[in-house]
Amino acid sequence: MSEAGYDTTGAQRHGDGTHHPVGAGGRYTAGARHEGGALHTAGSGEPRTAGTEARHTAGARRAAASDGAGPGLPSPARRVVFLDVARALAMIGVVMMNASSVVYPVEMSGDRVPGVLSELVDGGLTLLMSGRARTMLMVLLGAGVVLAWRAAARRGGSPAAVMLRRYAVLGLLFGLPHLAVFDGDILTQYSVAALLLTPLVPLLLGGSRRRPLVAAAVLFAAVPVSDLLLSPFLGDHTWGASAMLVPQTLGFFCVGVWLARRPELTAEPGTGAEGTSRLPLRMLVFGAVVQVLSVALMLVGSVVFPTEFGADGAPVRSVGETVVVLLGNTLLNLGGALLYLGLVWWLVLRGRGAARVLGTLAPLGRMTLTVYLGSTAVFLAVMGPFEGTVPQLAQYALAAAYFVATAVLAHLWARRFRLGPLEWVWRSLTHLRPVPLRAERSGRRSGLPAASGDPA
């Protein structure tokens, strides 16, 4: 689940001479060039003469050029702080929205009318996070598929085999058991979509950097088609709705692939350089415009395709209304995700103070699988016995307290360990052997430790 990144602090850090992806959201440390695809030469045994240095430099430039990273850009092995932070913020949004879904509040039982404060908090969270947080997380996880693929390719062997094993483990070991206790689980849907995406990664990594966006547009157009074709067979089952949204999830993943291929992703945080801050601002503005247009689309659609009602009084959607609503919601969520990602990225790039403040969330962003599943366990343990009697406001308060506690624990954990506990299990099963867990004493001790990325 924690996806877009990997540790590049050096082969000796892993004890096996390899680099492995770690967490979800893209993090890098000083070391080898990764994003552009060039291999590092540490420990290769080749003397670093002027000739070999020139050959390595030329090779790095050629590999970078193949994916759009120009020779004047900073090394992609530099840490992309914003992805860690963005993943943490996305997970906060997802879990906050889950707080009243894992265990139903008293307001849903009809025994209590929601208070003004409860309505304001619920409305604010819904407006800011509903759909957008999940989409933001899916985009980041899509970027992680690319980064993990490249890391697996550098280790040798078949990246596709590693990816298929990794997402099979995620779905079978974590997703399905979680789905059994919470029907709002996103791990199963994510793992299925990632398994479908894996064979397409080489195609999406080749050609123009716009290719993933074209693929995303095609997949978004397929969302209403999927719904119209499958809904008669899948009915109202929650898993059926998830199956119908697989094209949407794949589309968000493709946007993440596009993001992972952008050379701007390697910018040094806190420099405020004009050339590296244009893309975040463009994402921010584009996301805002897309949200406005999607709302306009749905408003016009509600007039052109008004909701009809059957003999039993139940709403019956026409084909036109279904298409407009599903496309409108998809674009609304995508616009919100791009706006938030652009905003976080811009804040990180514009100044060291902003990067430092936001960076306090980075350790939390590297343990998203543990944080996500842990939240469900806490909600069920604390509120489960009192389902239907807990006020919604108290549920949101518990979710907020959970994140404060986990943010502190994540900082303490990162001082001693390279991976979160569930991230370590996932990664070890992916590689079919226990991987190093304890951090080296010489590792970075700041709030942004070196170990990062996808745990598998």
d(CA 393, CA 377): 19
Provide the pLDDT for residue 307: 82
Question: For 76, what's the count of Cα atoms within 13 Å in the CB-facing half-sphere?
Answer: 30
Provide the pLDDT for residue 239: 56
Residue ranges per domain, the chain?
Answer: 81-431
Highest mean pLDDT among 121-130, 155-164, 208-217: 208-217
DSSP state of 265: G
Residues 322-343 have pLDDT tens digits of 899 999 999 999 999 999 999 9
| Arithmetic mean of pLDDT over the chain | 77
Residue environment code for 138-154, b if the CB has 16+ CB neighbours within 10 A, otherwise e: bbbbbbbbbbbbbbbbb
Q: Confidence class of residue 17 from pLDDT cuts 50, 70 and 90?
A: very low
Residues 38-84 have pLDDT tens digits of 333 333 333 444 444 444 444 444 433 334 333 332 333 334 677 88
Q: Which residue has the tokens 């406005």?
A: 292
Residues 231-245 have pLDDT tens digits of 776 666 555 566 678
Provide the pLDDT for residue 268: 54
Across the range 258-278, mean pLDDT stands at 68
Contacts of 424 (CB under 8 A, 6+ apart): 417, 435, 437, 455
With a pLDDT cut of 90, the percent of the chain lying above it is: 43
- How many degrees, rounded to 5, is the angle at CA 40 between CA 36 and CA 42? 165
**Cβ(363)–Cβ(414) under 8 Å?**
yes
**Cβ(443)–Cβ(9) under 8 Å?**
yes
- Encoded amino acid at 304, one letter: V
**Cβ(403)–Cβ(94) under 8 Å?**
no
With a pLDDT cut of 70, the percent of the chain lying above it is: 73
Query: Cβ–Cβ contacts within 10 Å for residue 447, how many?
Result: 15
Q: Confidence class of residue 422 from pLDDT cuts 50, 70 and 90?
A: very high
pLDDT at 299 over 50: yes
Considering the entire predicted model, what is its pTM?
Answer: 0.76
**Cβ(140)–Cβ(256) under 8 Å?**
yes
DSSP state of 316: E
d(CA 84, CA 92): 13
pLDDT at 364 over 60: yes
Q: Confidence class of residue 264 from pLDDT cuts 50, 70 and 90?
A: confident
Across the range 148-172, mean pLDDT stands at 89
**Residue 156, exposed/middle/buried by CB under 10 A (0-12, 13-18, 19+)?**
exposed
Q: Is 453 left (phi over 0), alpha (psi -120 to 50) or beta?
A: left
DSSP string, 383-412: HGGGTTTS-HHHHHHHHHHHHHHHHHHHHH
pLDDT at 33 over 50: no
